[in-house]
């Protein structure tokens, strides 16, 4: 499937959110997917994943997650300096600000003539952000890839964003993907997340724990990348979003 790729500026309160929209060539309409990046923002690695998702028949919108900071318009490198800058960008952003930006991007997608149902997905910090996107009743299904900070609430500038405490607010379908060897979300943290979801009545979710998968195993740069697990995860995500 051929794709079209456009850089857009999503309007927000007094600023804009630089985003990349990737969609199939043609008239559509297609389901829309909000795709949250990891801390490194709009890297080619993340955009390659977004293209793969779009090729399955989705309009994928990938926004920057730090549009309010000095990192607006900046693509970070996968090195120590990039990591520290990304973490600093997160630390400078409150949960309320992340939520406000999410509403702006979902509004943008909802208003597009080529978009039908709204879905959401994200990686690492983006996995946590997209869990919060599931609170929006417009989001019909959500896929969280190795969400960080979900078990203890840590998100950006907030020590506890209270995300799991709001799990009962999720009305759409939910899928979560972890790697079994992820030090950021080890077995105990995964158990905390699952227990909290079940306690909130979210017992009809889909959980995947890939044996041997490290944190960010889907990032196709660096030693952690696992191509086989990446293909499995994307196949399962597409299947889940399209309701099989």
Distance CA 156, CA 88 (A): 9
Quote the pLDDT of residue 224: 97
> With contact defined as beta carbons under 8 Å apart, do 156 and 177 qualify?
no
Mean of pLDDT values over 43-48: 98
Quote the pLDDT of residue 241: 97
Quote the pLDDT of residue 27: 85
Distance CA 193, CA 163 (A): 10
pTM: 0.97
| Residue 242, SS3 per DSSP | coil
Question: At 178, which helix (H) or strand (E)?
Answer: strand 173-179
CATH of the domain at 74: 3.40.50.1820
Best CA proximity match to 207, nearest among 191, 220, 218, 219: 191
Quote the pLDDT of residue 153: 97
Residue 85: asked if its preceding bond is cis (omega within 30°), the reply is no
pLDDT single digits (tens) 156-214: 999 999 999 999 999 999 999 999 999 999 999 999 999 999 999 999 999 999 999 99
User: What is the share, in percent, of the chain residues with pLDDT greater than 90?
Assistant: 97
Tell me the average pLDDT of the chain: 97
pLDDT single digits (tens) 93-152: 999 999 999 999 999 999 999 999 999 999 999 999 999 999 999 999 999 999 999 999
Contacts of 47 (CB under 8 A, 6+ apart): 20, 22, 62
Confidence of residue 1 (pLDDT cuts 50, 70, 90): confident
Best CA proximity match to 56, nearest among 4, 1, 19: 1
Mean of pLDDT values over 202-227: 97
Quote the pLDDT of residue 40: 98
The structural domain count of the chain equals: 1
pLDDT at 244 over 80: no
Chain centroid to Cα 7, Å, comes to 18
Strands (E), the chain: 3-11, 16-24, 30-36, 59-63, 115-123, 139-145, 173-179, 206-210
pLDDT at 56 over 90: yes
Which comes out higher in pLDDT, residue 221 or 27?
221
Which residues span the domain enclosing 79? 3-241
pLDDT single digits (tens) 133-147: 999 999 999 999 999
Distance CA 167, CA 132 (A): 9
pLDDT at 43 over 80: yes
Distance CA 205, CA 171 (A): 11
Quote the pLDDT of residue 127: 98
Distance CA 54, CA 85 (A): 29
Mean of pLDDT values over 63-79: 97
């Amino acid at each position: 499937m051929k794709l079209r790729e456009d850089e857009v500026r999503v309007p927000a309160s007094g600023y804009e959110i630089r985003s990349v929209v990737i969609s199939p060539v043609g008239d559509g309409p297609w389901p829309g997917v909000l795709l949250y990046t990891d801390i490194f923002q709009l890297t080619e690695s993340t955009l390659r994943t977004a293209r793969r998702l779009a090729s399955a028949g989705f309009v994928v919108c990938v926004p920057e997650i730090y549009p309010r900071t000095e990192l607006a318009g900046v693509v970070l490198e996968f090195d120590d300096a990039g990591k520290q800058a990304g973490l600093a960008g997160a630390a400078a952003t409150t949960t309320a600000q992340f939520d406000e930006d999410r509403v702006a991007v979902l509004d943008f997608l909802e208003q597009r003539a080529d978009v039908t149902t709204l879905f959401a997905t994200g990686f690492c910090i983006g996995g946590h952000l997209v869990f919060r996107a599931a609170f929006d009743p417009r989001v019909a299904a959500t896929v969280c890839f190795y969400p960080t900070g979900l078990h203890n609430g840590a998100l950006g500038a907030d020590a506890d964003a209270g995300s799991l405490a709001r799990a009962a607010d999720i009305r759409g379908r939910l899928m979560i993907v972890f790697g079994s060897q992820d030090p950021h979300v080890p077995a105990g943290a995964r158990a905390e997340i699952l227990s909290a979801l079940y306690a909130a009545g979210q017992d009809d979710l889909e959980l995947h724990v890939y044996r041997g998968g490290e944190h960010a195993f889907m990032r196709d740069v660096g030693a952690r990348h696992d191509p086989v697990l990446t293909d499995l995860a994307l196949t399962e995500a597409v299947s889940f979003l399209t309701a099989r």
